[in-house]
Copies of this chain bind each other. A is one copy, B any other.
Amino acid sequence: MSIRVTVWNEYRHEKESEEIAAVYPNGIHAAIAEGLQASGGFDVGTATLDEPEHGLTDEVLEKTKVLVWWGHKAHGAVSDEIVTRVQKRVLDGMGMVVLHSGHMSKIFMRLMGTSCDLKWREADEKERLWVVSPGHPIVEGIGEYIEMEKEEMYGEHFDIPQPEALVFVSWFEGGEVFRSGCCYQRGAGKIFYFRPGHETYPTYFNPEIRRVIANAAKWAAPVDGPKRTFGNIKVPLEKIG
Protein backbone atom coordinates (compact mmCIF):
# COMPACT_ATOMS: atom_id res chain seq x y z
CA MET A 1 0.00 0.00 0.00
CA SER A 2 1.45 3.31 -1.02
CA ILE A 3 2.24 6.07 1.45
CA ARG A 4 0.66 9.47 0.85
CA VAL A 5 3.41 12.10 0.88
CA THR A 6 2.87 15.83 0.49
CA VAL A 7 5.90 17.81 -0.64
CA TRP A 8 5.64 21.38 0.59
CA ASN A 9 7.76 24.11 -1.00
CA GLU A 10 7.94 27.83 -0.41
CA TYR A 11 8.24 28.14 -4.22
CA ARG A 12 9.43 31.73 -4.40
CA HIS A 13 13.10 31.51 -5.34
CA GLU A 14 12.20 29.62 -8.49
CA LYS A 15 9.75 32.34 -9.57
CA GLU A 16 12.02 35.27 -8.78
CA SER A 17 15.45 34.12 -9.97
CA GLU A 18 16.27 32.99 -13.49
CA GLU A 19 19.34 31.19 -12.20
CA ILE A 20 17.30 29.11 -9.78
CA ALA A 21 14.49 28.57 -12.28
CA ALA A 22 17.10 27.13 -14.62
CA VAL A 23 17.96 24.50 -12.00
CA TYR A 24 14.39 23.79 -10.89
CA PRO A 25 12.12 24.83 -13.78
CA ASN A 26 9.02 23.30 -12.14
CA GLY A 27 10.03 24.19 -8.63
CA ILE A 28 12.00 22.33 -6.00
CA HIS A 29 8.83 20.50 -4.94
CA ALA A 30 8.43 19.03 -8.39
CA ALA A 31 11.96 17.64 -8.37
CA ILE A 32 11.50 16.08 -4.94
CA ALA A 33 8.06 14.73 -5.81
CA GLU A 34 9.42 13.22 -9.02
CA GLY A 35 12.14 11.44 -7.08
CA LEU A 36 9.68 9.99 -4.58
CA GLN A 37 7.28 8.93 -7.30
CA ALA A 38 10.05 7.21 -9.22
CA SER A 39 11.25 5.32 -6.17
CA GLY A 40 7.92 3.54 -5.82
CA GLY A 41 5.67 2.99 -2.85
CA PHE A 42 4.43 6.56 -2.61
CA ASP A 43 1.40 8.51 -3.69
CA VAL A 44 2.80 12.03 -3.94
CA GLY A 45 1.14 15.43 -3.84
CA THR A 46 2.55 18.92 -3.51
CA ALA A 47 1.62 22.13 -1.72
CA THR A 48 3.13 25.59 -1.82
CA LEU A 49 3.17 28.74 0.27
CA ASP A 50 1.03 30.92 -1.97
CA GLU A 51 -1.86 28.48 -2.27
CA PRO A 52 -4.82 29.09 0.05
CA GLU A 53 -3.91 27.88 3.55
CA HIS A 54 -0.44 27.27 2.04
CA GLY A 55 -1.97 24.17 0.43
CA LEU A 56 -2.17 22.56 3.86
CA THR A 57 -5.91 22.38 4.48
CA ASP A 58 -7.34 20.03 7.06
CA GLU A 59 -8.31 17.70 4.21
CA VAL A 60 -4.79 17.60 2.78
CA LEU A 61 -3.16 17.08 6.16
CA GLU A 62 -5.68 14.46 7.16
CA LYS A 63 -4.64 12.18 4.31
CA THR A 64 -0.93 13.07 4.39
CA LYS A 65 1.20 10.39 6.04
CA VAL A 66 4.52 12.19 5.58
CA LEU A 67 5.08 15.89 4.94
CA VAL A 68 8.32 16.96 3.23
CA TRP A 69 9.26 20.60 3.88
CA TRP A 70 11.47 23.01 1.93
CA GLY A 71 11.46 26.72 2.81
CA HIS A 72 14.04 29.48 2.99
CA LYS A 73 13.36 33.16 2.44
CA ALA A 74 9.73 33.35 3.48
CA HIS A 75 9.56 31.39 6.72
CA GLY A 76 7.84 34.40 8.29
CA ALA A 77 5.04 34.27 5.72
CA VAL A 78 3.81 30.92 7.00
CA SER A 79 0.82 31.52 9.26
CA ASP A 80 1.06 30.50 12.90
CA GLU A 81 -2.31 28.84 12.60
CA ILE A 82 -1.08 26.46 9.92
CA VAL A 83 2.08 25.77 11.92
CA THR A 84 -0.07 24.79 14.90
CA ARG A 85 -2.17 22.58 12.64
CA VAL A 86 0.89 20.81 11.25
CA GLN A 87 2.40 20.38 14.71
CA LYS A 88 -0.80 18.77 15.96
CA ARG A 89 -0.77 16.32 13.04
CA VAL A 90 2.86 15.42 13.77
CA LEU A 91 2.07 14.75 17.43
CA ASP A 92 -0.79 12.54 16.22
CA GLY A 93 1.60 10.52 14.05
CA MET A 94 2.27 12.25 10.72
CA GLY A 95 5.93 12.02 9.71
CA MET A 96 8.04 14.95 8.52
CA VAL A 97 11.17 15.21 6.40
CA VAL A 98 12.60 18.70 6.85
CA LEU A 99 15.11 19.69 4.19
CA HIS A 100 18.06 22.07 4.16
CA SER A 101 17.02 25.69 4.90
CA GLY A 102 13.82 24.32 6.42
CA HIS A 103 15.94 24.22 9.60
CA MET A 104 14.63 27.71 10.41
CA SER A 105 11.05 27.12 9.36
CA LYS A 106 8.53 27.92 12.05
CA ILE A 107 7.37 24.32 12.17
CA PHE A 108 10.85 22.87 12.72
CA MET A 109 11.72 25.42 15.40
CA ARG A 110 8.36 24.72 17.03
CA LEU A 111 8.99 20.99 17.14
CA MET A 112 12.59 21.33 18.33
CA GLY A 113 12.15 24.06 20.98
CA THR A 114 15.47 25.67 20.01
CA SER A 115 16.66 28.41 17.63
CA CYS A 116 17.86 25.86 15.02
CA ASP A 117 20.46 28.43 13.98
CA LEU A 118 23.81 27.48 12.40
CA LYS A 119 26.80 28.77 10.43
CA TRP A 120 26.58 28.97 6.64
CA ARG A 121 28.59 29.96 3.57
CA GLU A 122 27.90 30.00 -0.16
CA ALA A 123 31.21 29.14 -1.77
CA ASP A 124 30.63 26.25 -4.16
CA GLU A 125 32.44 23.94 -1.82
CA LYS A 126 32.56 20.19 -1.54
CA GLU A 127 30.41 18.33 1.01
CA ARG A 128 30.90 14.72 2.01
CA LEU A 129 28.08 13.20 4.06
CA TRP A 130 29.45 10.31 6.14
CA VAL A 131 27.11 7.60 7.39
CA VAL A 132 27.60 7.15 11.14
CA SER A 133 24.62 4.83 11.73
CA PRO A 134 25.11 2.03 9.20
CA GLY A 135 22.16 -0.16 10.25
CA HIS A 136 19.57 2.61 10.07
CA PRO A 137 16.75 2.17 7.51
CA ILE A 138 17.44 5.67 6.18
CA VAL A 139 20.78 4.51 4.69
CA GLU A 140 19.41 1.51 2.81
CA GLY A 141 21.21 1.38 -0.53
CA ILE A 142 23.71 4.11 0.39
CA GLY A 143 27.51 3.71 0.53
CA GLU A 144 29.85 4.86 3.29
CA TYR A 145 29.40 8.45 2.22
CA ILE A 146 27.63 10.69 -0.28
CA GLU A 147 29.71 13.28 -2.06
CA MET A 148 28.28 16.57 -3.30
CA GLU A 149 30.71 18.38 -5.56
CA LYS A 150 29.26 21.80 -4.77
CA GLU A 151 26.91 22.77 -1.99
CA GLU A 152 26.26 25.51 0.49
CA MET A 153 28.12 24.99 3.77
CA TYR A 154 26.25 24.54 7.06
CA GLY A 155 28.47 24.40 10.14
CA GLU A 156 28.28 23.68 13.87
CA HIS A 157 27.12 24.69 16.30
CA PHE A 158 23.72 23.62 14.98
CA ASP A 159 21.29 24.64 17.72
CA ILE A 160 19.08 21.56 17.84
CA PRO A 161 18.28 19.08 20.60
CA GLN A 162 20.62 16.12 20.52
CA PRO A 163 19.28 13.82 17.78
CA GLU A 164 17.71 10.58 19.00
CA ALA A 165 19.61 8.94 16.16
CA LEU A 166 22.38 10.68 14.25
CA VAL A 167 22.62 9.20 10.75
CA PHE A 168 24.91 11.51 8.75
CA VAL A 169 27.78 13.86 9.62
CA SER A 170 29.02 16.21 6.89
CA TRP A 171 32.60 17.21 6.12
CA PHE A 172 33.04 20.53 4.32
CA GLU A 173 35.99 21.63 2.25
CA GLY A 174 36.23 24.93 4.11
CA GLY A 175 36.90 23.25 7.47
CA GLU A 176 33.50 22.72 9.12
CA VAL A 177 31.46 19.68 10.14
CA PHE A 178 27.69 19.37 10.53
CA ARG A 179 25.19 16.87 11.92
CA SER A 180 23.36 16.54 8.62
CA GLY A 181 20.95 13.66 9.16
CA CYS A 182 19.02 13.76 12.44
CA CYS A 183 16.07 11.69 13.70
CA TYR A 184 13.51 12.75 16.29
CA GLN A 185 10.22 11.56 17.67
CA ARG A 186 7.63 14.13 18.77
CA GLY A 187 4.40 12.68 20.09
CA ALA A 188 3.60 9.74 17.80
CA GLY A 189 5.31 11.44 14.85
CA LYS A 190 8.79 10.89 13.46
CA ILE A 191 10.92 13.69 12.03
CA PHE A 192 14.05 13.51 9.90
CA TYR A 193 16.13 16.57 9.21
CA PHE A 194 18.37 16.25 6.11
CA ARG A 195 20.84 18.99 5.28
CA PRO A 196 21.59 19.11 1.51
CA GLY A 197 19.60 21.10 -1.01
CA HIS A 198 20.60 24.70 -1.62
CA GLU A 199 18.38 26.19 -4.31
CA THR A 200 21.23 26.98 -6.73
CA TYR A 201 22.40 23.36 -7.04
CA PRO A 202 20.62 20.39 -8.64
CA THR A 203 20.83 18.45 -5.37
CA TYR A 204 17.30 17.03 -5.56
CA PHE A 205 18.07 15.35 -8.87
CA ASN A 206 20.96 13.43 -7.29
CA PRO A 207 19.98 9.72 -7.06
CA GLU A 208 21.59 9.19 -3.66
CA ILE A 209 19.89 12.23 -2.16
CA ARG A 210 16.61 11.03 -3.62
CA ARG A 211 17.20 7.61 -2.13
CA VAL A 212 17.76 9.08 1.34
CA ILE A 213 14.58 11.18 1.10
CA ALA A 214 12.56 8.15 -0.01
CA ASN A 215 14.03 6.01 2.77
CA ALA A 216 13.29 8.76 5.28
CA ALA A 217 9.69 9.05 4.12
CA LYS A 218 9.24 5.30 4.62
CA TRP A 219 10.86 5.45 8.05
CA ALA A 220 8.72 8.44 9.09
CA ALA A 221 5.40 6.96 7.99
CA PRO A 222 2.93 6.61 10.87
CA VAL A 223 2.58 3.42 12.83
CA ASP A 224 -0.85 2.17 13.79
CA GLY A 225 0.09 2.18 17.46
CA PRO A 226 -1.85 2.96 20.60
CA LYS A 227 -4.42 5.72 20.56
CA ARG A 228 -2.96 8.13 23.10
CA THR A 229 -5.37 9.26 25.80
CA PHE A 230 -4.84 12.02 28.32
CA GLY A 231 -6.65 13.65 31.21
CA ASN A 232 -8.37 12.68 34.41
CA ILE A 233 -8.46 8.91 35.01
CA LYS A 234 -10.89 8.88 37.88
CA VAL A 235 -11.25 5.13 38.15
CA PRO A 236 -7.90 3.54 38.88
CA LEU A 237 -6.84 0.26 37.28
CA GLU A 238 -6.00 -1.10 40.72
CA LYS A 239 -7.63 -0.69 44.11
CA ILE A 240 -6.09 2.13 46.12
CA GLY A 241 -5.59 2.17 49.89
Contact = CB atoms under 8 A, between A and B. Distances in A.
Interface in A106-134: 110-115, 117-121, 123-126, 128, 130-134
A110 to B, nearest CB: 6
A91 interface: yes
B118 A230 contact: yes
Interface in A34-88: 87
B110 A228 contact: no
Contacts of A164: 161-162, 164-165
B161 A237 contact: no
Nearest to A137: B223
Contact of A226 (B144, B153, B159): B144
Interface string A133-165: 111110111111000000001011111011011
A133 B189 CA distance: 10
B171 A157 contact: no
A170 B178 CA distance: 10
A166 interface: yes
Given A120-B231, A236-B174, A161 B141 contact: no
A161 B134 CA distance: 11
A196 to B, nearest CB: 15
A225 B186 contact: no
Interface residues of A, number: 79
B135 A225 contact: yes
A96 to B, nearest CB: 12
A229 interface: yes
B175 A225 contact: no
28 contacts: A93-B135, A114-B187, A115-B230, A117-B230, A119-B232, A120-B232, A125-B236, A128-B237, A130-B155, A130-B156, A130-B177, A131-B156, A132-B179, A134-B187, A134-B188, A134-B228, A135-B223, A139-B225, A141-B224, A141-B225, A156-B169, A157-B228, A161-B185, A169-B179, A171-B177, A173-B241, A174-B233, A177-B177
7 closest A-B pairs by beta carbon, nearest first, are: A174-B236, A175-B237, A135-B188, A175-B238, A117-B230, A139-B225, A111-B113
